[in-house]
Structure 1
């Protein structure tokens, strides 16, 4: 009995001492605080320190992606006068908007900052996100917000929120943002949907007109290229033909000059030869005829060739 009474305190003491041993798993970083003061930041592995009450070990998964939702809740009480996430646009209209922010814990000293402020992180992140949302919505018309908000905010929010969080020293990194809800209030939702459908139709017609104009432009350019190729081909053909004619004429002229030096009357012979060929061709075509048969006793009467009126 006496041994049992001694063993129980010893076991309790050993169990208490074992609280100073912690296993840091892969993907985790630990922050060890001793009497509230950070004394170590061990990585994955076994950590042996002082027992609970002296040391406090906080293990933080640094590769884990966390998410906080900010803004309008469609399941909330609809009787609320000003529900969260209902913002005023630049042209004095209301929209209901909700976003989801994905973030993770940074590495190094960021883990310490996260541990020291982890109870405040989601509230601070939500307030900063609401501020960025309100600023963007108030600088755009309701049409721009409803038509482009999901894409524009997904690009804008991570950088803007991260920039404003730097001064807070929370040790988190904003990874991405997505718009989970973006509509007009229920009272006017149907009217805005009609407007959006009409604007989408207008944009479709504009896109079709631009595509048609682009097709016409491409066809005109193709026709222009064809005409230019045809013109270039015709020009080259005529140029080659003219050069061939000029070459042939030069060669023939040189031949005439050599023949004339041998026979000065050669050009007259050529002239009468060519003229005879021409007259025979004209006669064959009925364009010329001999007048001997037309001469009468009084000579050639030209009136017989006059056309009757």
Structure 2
């Protein structure tokens, strides 16, 4: 009897301690489970808390208390001040556009016969072709919207980058994107376009993200790094054009020099002809003045009349006429008749 009571007491003690141990283990498990709801959000991150799949709240850096899983789940995202790097080309299935070692001596990328492989080649406003290698840096402005559209963020961003690049390149000449022709590199209009190319590209990307079918993606592009190049083989063509341009400029310079020399010779010949004409005219004027000096002298004498001039001419001419005769008889002026006796010499 006593032995049965002893055994029953031992069994009771064992069960008691077993239950106590079980309760303690359950309590430890509960504490451990509850401790999973305590987390720390580090600086530079932000947390999105979802409760049974529904977004409950967004928290910044610091201590975060949540219901343990599976009640609530915490997703850590970069904070709005951090920039997330994304390369749109990383989504390409075929990376055949990457330049090979054999093509390392050329400038630019190869154009594929398959149009689908030419995604990152764009037409410029002047009909040129340029290849863009874009690296986008975006910020998460709306964590809840980002979490909802997480699987579609990068494809949508890639489409926005391509659409913005098409518009930006179409609004510029090739020299407004990169230095294709060195002779036009220093022109102020092209320099301004090259400097504003990345800014305009970022602005268009954000504009397209904001109008993404009315559904915000919760991101904003902060900046974009763009490496622009021309297709392989185009550099040789540009070099040929540059050489021809230099030859044309040289020929034009020679023609301008020859034209200037001819102009100077013509000016000199004209000046010589004018000098000769002036000298001949002056000589003619001097001769005329010399011939008319007597007449002008007579005209300048005071009291000179027509009869006086005639008498003067008569006296000058009469002497030469009378020098032809041998003898002259003079009679009074009032005689009724005048007898001239003229003997020839």
TM-score range relative to shorter protein: 0.5 to 0.7
Query: What is aligned with 2:70?
Result: 53
Match for 1:101 among 124, 136, 139?
136
Please give the secondary structure, in 2, of the residue aligned with 1:146: coil
- Pair 1:132–1:48, CA change in 2 (3 A): same
The answer to whether the 8 A contact 1:184-1:192 is kept is no
Indicate the residue corresponding to 1:85 in structure 2.
120
Cα shift readout 1:84-103 (whole Å, capped 9, x = no counterpart): 31122334432211122222
Query: Residue 67 of structure 1 aligns with which residue?
Result: 85
TM-score w.r.t. length of structure 2? 0.49
CA distance in 1, matches of 2:128, 2:37: 58
Whole-Å separation in 1 of the counterparts to 2:240 and 2:84: 37
- Alpha-carbon separation, structure 1, partners of 2:39 and 2:199: 41
Equivalent-residue separation in structure 1 for 2:243 and 2:224 (angstroms): 26
Q: Structure 1 residues 70, 196: CA separation in 2 closer, same or farther (over 3 Å shift)? A: farther
From 146, 150, 153, the counterpart of 2:178: 146
Tell me the matched-pair count. 197
CA contact (8 A) 1:153 1:178 kept: no
Following the alignment from structure 1 to structure 2, what is the Cα–Cα distance between the partners of residues 179 and 15?
50
* Structure 1 residues 43 and 150: CA distance shift in structure 2, 3 A: same
- From 210, 215, 234, the equivalent of 1:188 is 234
CA distance in 1, matches of 2:149, 2:243: 46
1:112 alignment counterpart: 144
Q: Distance in 1 between matches of 2:211 and 2:121?
A: 27
- Report what 1:20 is aligned to: 37
Runs of at least 5 residues in structure 1 that lack an aligned partner in the other structure: 201-309
**1:154-233 maps to which residues of 2 (within 5 A)?**
154-168=198-212, 169-180=216-227, 182-192=228-238
Cα distance in 1, alignment partners of residues 200 and 36 from structure 2: 46
Contact 1:183 1:189 in 2 (8 A): no
User: Structure 1's 11 and 124: CA in aligned 2 closer, same or farther, altered over 3 A?
Assistant: same
Partners of 2:231 and 2:51 in 1: CA distance:
52
Equivalence map 1:282-301=2 (5 Å)? none
Q: Is the 8 A contact 1:91 1:141 kept in 2?
A: yes
Using the TM superposition, give the Cα deviation of residue 198 of structure 1 relative to its aligned residue in structure 2, in angstroms: 9.2
Please list every run of 5 or more consecutive structure 2 residues that lacks an aligned counterpart in the other structure. Answer: 1-16, 101-109, 180-189, 247-345
Per the TM alignment, residue 30 of structure 1 is displaced from its structure 2 partner at its CA by 1.6
For the residue of structure 2 that corresponds to 1:186, the secondary structure is coil
The structural deviation recorded for 1:137 is: 1.7
Question: CA separation of 1:35/1:187 partners in 2, compared to 1, >3 Å: closer, same or farther?
Answer: same
When normalised by structure 1's length, the TM-score is: 0.54
* Cα distance in 1, alignment partners of residues 21 and 218 from structure 2: 50
Decide which of 133, 154, 158 is 2:165's aligned counterpart.
Answer: 133
Higher CA-based Rg: 2
Aligned residue in 2 for 1:286:
none
Aligned-residue CA RMSD (Å): 3.4
Q: Counterparts of 2:175 and 2:211 in 1: how far apart (Å)?
A: 34
